[in-house]
Amino acid sequence: MKKGIHPDYRPVVFQDVATGYAFLTRSTVPTKRTIEWEDGKEYPLLTLEVSSSSHPFYTGTQRLLDSAGRVERFQRRYSGGD
C-alpha cells in the first residue's frame, strides 16, 4: 500500500442514541468523541439515530398496511366498467 493516501482504519464504537445499544467494529469514519469500552480501553465513538436495535423492521414494531383494500379499490376504479 502507498503511504499517506489511505484513511486510518481503526476500532470504533457505534452507539444507538434511542436504545443505548453499542457495538465495536473497525471503520475509517472520522470522530471527535471517545468512549470507554467494556475492556477498559478508550475508543472513538460515533452515535447513530437508527440501528438494528431501534429500526422498526428489525424490532417487529412495523405497521402493516391494508394492501388488500387498496388492491380492491384499484380494481374497481380501473376495471373498465365491468
CA dist list (Å): 73 to 16, 36, 65, 70? 40, 56, 14, 5
Report field, pTM of the whole predicted structure over 0.85: no
Domain membership flag for residue 46:
yes
Domain membership flag for residue 53:
yes
The pLDDT tens digits for 30-41 are: 999 999 999 999
Domain membership flag for residue 5:
no
Domain membership flag for residue 2:
no
CA dist list (Å): 26 to 23, 36, 43, 63? 10, 16, 10, 34
CA dist., res. 23 & res. 55, Å (int): 16
Residue 9 main-chain phi, psi, to 5 deg = -100, 110
pLDDT less than 50: residues of the chain? none
Work out how many domains the chain is built from and give that number: 1
* Contact yes or no for 33/45 (Cβ under 8 A): yes
Domain membership flag for residue 45:
yes
Expressed as residue numbers, the domain containing 44 is 10-77
